[in-house]
Structure 1
């Protein structure tokens, strides 16, 4: 019996792209999967489009708008897979996304997480603008906290389910919830990756300043969580230095010089 993979997909007002996201799952080379779609209070035609799919492997849930973390938690409570991974409602998986990661798992029974390359693309997915490639193997806890970017890009890990473990995102986060989710599981577990592209990420137009302020606050919220963990002080210091550097440069690129210096020296 092949391994069942649960694919967690939150959807919020994604009528323009949700069909493409679902179609990318239907096209998988590894076809033993379940797709758990959670409609997080969409007010567009997302519901109508999702209901148009009749494949028995698709499970559909609806909730009032409560955020992506709550939506993912609903799906994870219902999942039955031996492994699970994530797909946002406006992105796509490549056809070998599941099979290539499962192949890495098959080569090493000690692995808990397998990642892969991510293709950042224009809004219509027609052109790649950049590519992220993992560059880390081993226990990823220190790498995640240090924000090196070698083992973390977003919710692109495939995770081998551990028995009797309650997987859940922290809904108090507005940004950085995926990084905190991984950090909570990373200790004493092994990470690896496939060099194949496993995820197509759509870069959509949005409010740059809104995203920047949210990201800045997310980093601060994560630091407060990290300070409660039993981690070496030098690692927490490394996190603080890196998040200040990231946001300082991000604000400067956006032309917000005062915000850059305020964040760097006052947080």
Structure 2
């Protein structure tokens, strides 16, 4: 891994972390927007995760004393984020994706909101767009404007069946990350779910804002929609469900333990849809599921008649 840094040794308010892989068409626009920030002291950490297109040359040409470039062999997006977390120095952290768009001045506005609410984690809203010009809100059921504990937020999200786990929604206090030794688990997909669950399970101060300062562009050609990637996603879902169950077993708060089991069952619903409709190696994925997840643990997540019917369906297919 190589590190190129021009950043000065002053106090840094916000670290912006962006992993990139073959993002030459989009990353320049995002960098320009971020580096136009003047009202908040930032460092921009970009991790070039083994790009094979013109990305490397493009970002090596960035000249700004707030910019840090990490270059490494391709290890995946989560390893890239961990590499940036290891060296970041900002009091707050924001994660972005290389192919999306942000509102001008959003870093300053997020930073101000986080300070004013005294949150450890603040979660914003965003617009979701696809091939058409229409856009919809990423989430609609959150307790906007309220301060609550991480455990209370878990209860809210599970109860309302809305888990806004997207990393680019968040601004997080760095001391909170370090206090709880938080990092990304290895893997290729869906581990942002676990990052957000661990953030909440640490039970810090959370605040939700309906400010839509980010535009998430759904790309039908992205790797997550490729048929040869569906089995990888299924394996990742298995790892996510197993980790939520492990966390539930360790949780001392009995009420939160129940809600974690419930969320494991929700993720199992997502997994089953992928398994039935898209997975190629059904025998291999089924075997992995049965080795990693027990029926008894998923049974603990049942909370409604609908859950009962789903559990029966899941058992018939996988358990």
Band of TM-score, shorter chain:
0.7 to 0.9
**Which of 1 and 2 has greater Rg?**
2
Q: State the partner residue of 1:168.
A: 183
The structure with higher relative contact order (CA 8 Å, sep 6+) is 1
* Aligned match for 2:208, one of 176, 188, 193: 193
Structure (1 or 2) with the greater helix fraction = 2
**CA gap 1:209/1:236 in 2 versus in 1, 3 angstroms:** farther
Residue 50 of structure 1 deviates from its aligned partner by: 0.6
**Which structure 2 residues correspond to residues 1-267 of structure 1 after superposition, within 5 A?**
4-28=13-37, 30-109=39-118, 111-122=119-130, 127-133=133-139, 135-136=142-143, 137=146, 138-141=148-151, 142-143=154-155, 146=158, 148-162=161-175, 164-165=178-179, 166-171=181-186, 173-186=187-200, 187-206=202-221, 207-210=225-228, 212-229=230-247, 230-231=250-251, 232=254, 234-249=258-273, 265-266=317-318
Deviations 1:38-85 (A, max 9, x none): 100000000111122101111111000011111111111111101011
Q: TM-score, normalised by structure 2?
A: 0.71
Structure 2 unmatched ranges of 5 or more: 1-9, 283-309
How far apart are the structure 2 equivalents of 1:29 and 1:120? 27
Deviations 1:80-123 (A, max 9, x none): 101011111112221132122222222222x1111211112246
How far apart are the structure 2 equivalents of 1:248 and 1:211? 16
Deviations 1:176-208 (A, max 9, x none): 211212222322212213222122222222334
**CA gap 1:215/1:143 in 2 versus in 1, 3 angstroms:** farther
Q: Mean alpha-carbon deviation: is it higher for 134-143 or for 11-20? A: 134-143
How far apart are the structure 1 equivalents of 2:317 and 2:92? 43
Residue 17 of structure 1 deviates from its aligned partner by: 0.8
Residue 2 of structure 1 deviates from its aligned partner by: 8.4
Alpha-carbon contact 1:11-1:37 (below 8 Å) kept: yes
Q: State the partner residue of 2:294.
A: none
**CA gap 1:239/1:209 in 2 versus in 1, 3 angstroms:** farther
Q: TM-score, normalised by structure 1?
A: 0.83
How far apart are the structure 1 equivalents of 2:107 and 2:316? 40
RMSD (CA atoms):
3.1
